[in-house]
Amino acid sequence: MPDAPSNLPPVLRPEHPPVRPLADLAARFARDVRGDVDGVALSGITLATADLRPGEAFVAIRGTNRHGAEFAHIAAEKGAVAIVTDADGADLAESAGLPIVVVDDPRGLLGDLSAWVYGTAPGDDLPLLFGTTGTNGKTSVSHLLEGILGQLGVVTGLSSTAERHIAGEVIVSRLTTPEASEFHALLALMRERGVEAVAVEVSAQALSRHRVDGLLFDVAGFTNLSHDHLDDYADMREYFEAKLPLFRSDRSRRAVISLDSTPGLEVVERSEVPYVTVGTPAIAADPDAAASADWTVEILDERPNGTTFTLASKDGRSLTTVVPVIGRHMAANAGLAIVMILEGGYSWEALVAALDGGRIDAYLPGRTQLVSGDSGPAVYVDFGHSPDAFEKTLAAVRRVTPGTVVMLVGADGDRDATKRHDMGRTAVEGSDILVITDHHPRFEDPESIRATLIEGARRARPDAEIHEFSPPERAILEAIALVGDGDAILWAGPGHQDYRDIRGVRTPYSARELSRRGLAAAGWPVPEPHWPVPYPDDETPLSDPSREWR
């Protein structure tokens, strides 16, 4: 693959990578070898020349438009010691002068290759691995897992849509789940730094595209399934089937399955590993099924700064604690995380001592994140970008808001367009005022995206108050002008992200900071930011809404 954009975060490597003989790799994986592999030492492996370091192998795969082997010369110039590719790629790469290990399916083998190179295969000395999949809640469960494990005194790692964490160090993420070569390198680095347990967000695409190959999760979790990602999958059945491999015995040892969405029952039926179930009757599609789970979550109280719940088992165990964000669905996520930790081998007594009567100490970036001050309108920034996420989060905001609820939302360009009408519908049904703006337009026309959202909203509520403002820098100012003390704004979509993708360019952008500065400009008290700010201190993207925006 060619160089990645320079504004992407770097791929991490172990500080002291194992040195492997290329001849051993060839003996283990090759169908054919071109050139001399004897005496060549290998210290890493990568898919992208931008991430390649001297001493590593470059894995050249066929892309949509070009074959990665076309960049073999770049790999050689950057210090690659070998090319791993298929037969077609070998013909293209031969003139680069590097030894070539020919395999049938380099993409499909990448996980096993990476695990062998970095010593991170099942059975190696590795941290405990927790993997969570589902449509919504994966990131929240992952951060909750990390937070609770930290309260137990465990040295943790994390890989989520939002961030990578290594024993307290925070790195911005590239993909929901990194490529297999990146993940195994990250896992080796975590091991070097004494990480004992890792929480991993596992997307359907990660399973379909071999990003978690070569890993065996100690505990797999399932949150829910709802309409999303039909740009990648033909229909909801195909999308569901893409998640099921996580519950095979070659992918995980145990599972915790939520029964809050109907597909959870089928995950139970088709799981190939031992499992326990958890349910939250207050939000479940089938409350009776959720109530029959091995563990149940009961909502006790909802406040702007947290949700109190009790987690109870059929055998009589229970604890009561607070998840530090609003929403019954967040309590459900926390219950799932607690049971996953229990299934990972940590004691119930330790969990009770850390959590019962207290509060979960976890930071969930951009997940119904309150960015406003103690008085004035409440502003929540959220990463949710599906109809189901809108419905649940708006309901949570409504329950803690005495006044008007404003929904501010855009939609991704070049992503699943089939959900946009339903996004507009659920947004307008759950709010008093709807403000439509832009998100990541990518290479789509943002005006067309907004029009589809508005069309879905108008069909549902023809008489609703709906505003359209572009760009989002203006939209948040206009939304703040619509609210006062006791009201709330839910800005859904951008969450933790610090950029917008506009025609392939990552433009600095922070919904959290835009909201904070907009509130301050309107005279409301605001907290100091505890998130990265992508704008220089002497610049602000906010201005008078009457200015000419472009």
Residue 2 has pLDDT above 80, yes or no: no
Model confidence band, residue 10 (pLDDT cutoffs 50, 70, 90): low
Residue 22 has pLDDT above 50, yes or no: yes
Mean predicted confidence (pLDDT) in 239-265:
95
Residue 445 has pLDDT above 80, yes or no: yes
For residues 443 and 414, is the Cβ–Cβ distance under 8 A? yes
CA 349 to chain CA centroid, nearest Å = 30
59: left (phi over 0), alpha (psi -120 to 50) or beta: beta
- 58-92 pLDDT, tens digit per residue, is 999 998 889 999 999 999 999 999 999 999 999 99
Residue 475 has pLDDT above 50, yes or no: yes
**Residue 64's pLDDT is what?**
86
Number of separate helices (H) and strands (E) present in the chain: 17, 26
Name which of 27, 31, 201, 42 is nearest 108 in CA terms: 31
Q: How far apart, in Å, are the Cα atoms of 394 and each of 58, 297, 331, 368? A: 46, 20, 15, 10
The whole model's pTM is what? 0.83
Domains of the chain listed by start with CATH number: 20-118 (3.40.1390.10), 128-355 (3.40.1190.10), 369-521 (3.90.190.20)
- 138-161 pLDDT, tens digit per residue, is 999 999 999 999 999 999 999 987
Most confident of 87-91, 206-210, 226-230, 301-305: 87-91
For residues 47 and 59, is the Cβ–Cβ distance under 8 A? yes
Strand-pairing partners, residue 44, are 56
- The tokens describing 378, both together, are 């409440």
- 361-413 pLDDT, tens digit per residue, is 998 888 888 999 999 999 999 988 889 889 989 999 999 999 999 999 999 99
